[in-house]
Amino acid sequence: MSSEPLLKVSGVETYYGNIRALAGVDVEVHKGEIVSLIGANGAGKSTLMMTICGSPQARAGQVVFDGEDITEMPTHLIARRRIAQSPEGRRIFPRMTVLENLQMGAGLDNLKYFKEDVEKVFTMFPRLKERQSQRGGTLSGGEQQMLSIGRALMSRPKLLLLDEPSLGLAPLIVKGIFEQIKRLNKEEGLTVFLVEQNAFAALKLSDRAYVMVNGKVTMSGTGKELLADPSVRAAYLEGGHH
């Protein structure tokens, strides 16, 4: 891969007060890739996702997206660069309907595509179509996850950030969501950077992956390489789904 990466995170340090959650992180995501980030609870995975989106901002290092330094850019301007995030814990708008949530995701400059894009999301997640007038907060956990991903897709992202898309979901739903991610990547060239507790599923899905420990990347490789690595197996895959 000789071309410039779509996303380049270099030496990033992020703090909560005096506590350093990211201790110099380097990560690259190239256009058209699915890249995953695995690691134990509290390793700093969500913090990295949020730092890419500018909240909290990195205190050291650099985040470059599509050739532009976004390290100190406000979150709403980063979103306009077409980085969409489906954050951990979903964070949909609970009092708005499914359809209204999707409208919020579309953003003003995408309104001309709204109908077409909503239909795409409904084809991907037929459950959302059935429930388009229901309030987000009354959806089941899995349905809220679908809505969160659907809302992120409505912005026609160049980069989709997914934080724990499988969290709390039944295996069959997880499988469906991962299949949809793969399909979007294959058919539409969507670039995806995802955080997952389900390391086995994530590594199987991904072109490349990073392992994070205590705010640092300790290992990287292709999904296949990491799946076969004894230390990864021992730490993240033993007793897992394989």
Ligand X SMILES: Nc1ncnc2c1ncn2[C@@H]1O[C@H](COP(=O)(O)OP(=O)(O)OP(=O)(O)O)[C@@H](O)[C@H]1O
The residue ranges that bind ligand X (CB under 6 A) are 16, 19, 21, 39, 41-47, 88
CA angle 151/157/161 to nearest 5° reads: 75
Provide, rounded to whole angstroms, the least separation between the CB of residue 215 and Mg ion.
Answer: 13
Cβ proximity of 61 and 24 under 8 Å? yes
Q: Which does 42 bind (CB under 5 to 8 A by kind): ligand X, Mg ion, none?
A: ligand X
| CB contact burial 176-212 (16+ within 10 A = b; e otherwise) | bbbebbbebbeeeebbbbbbbbbbbbbbbbbbbbbbb
Q: Which does 16 bind (CB under 5 to 8 A by kind): ligand X, Mg ion, none?
A: ligand X
Provide, rounded to whole angstroms, the least separation between the CB of residue 43 and ligand X.
Answer: 4
Nearer to Mg ion, 51 or 98 (CB): 51
Residues of this chain that bind Mg ion (CB under 5 A): 45-46, 88
Residues, the chain = 242
Position closest to Mg ion via CB? 46
Torsion of CA 149, 214, 54, 147, to 10 degrees: 10
Q: Which does 5 bind (CB under 5 to 8 A by kind): Mg ion, ligand X, none?
A: none
Nearer to ligand X, 212 or 227 (CB): 212
- In the numeric block, the tokens 């350093």 are attached to 20
Provide, rounded to whole angstroms, the least separation between the CB of residue 88 and Mg ion.
Answer: 5
Q: Residue 219 pairs with which residues in a beta bridge?
A: 211
The closest alpha carbon to 49, from 69, 29, 32, belongs to 29
User: Residue 13, SS3?
Assistant: strand
Nearer to ligand X, 16 or 67 (CB): 16
User: Residue 38, SS3?
Assistant: strand
Provide, rounded to whole angstroms, the least separation between the CB of residue 162 and ligand X.
Answer: 12
Nearer to ligand X, 47 or 85 (CB): 47
Q: What is the DSSP letter of 4?
A: P
Nearer to ligand X, 80 or 216 (CB): 216
Provide, rounded to whole angstroms, the least separation between the CB of residue 141 and Mg ion.
Answer: 16
Q: Which does 44 bind (CB under 5 to 8 A by kind): Mg ion, ligand X, none?
A: ligand X
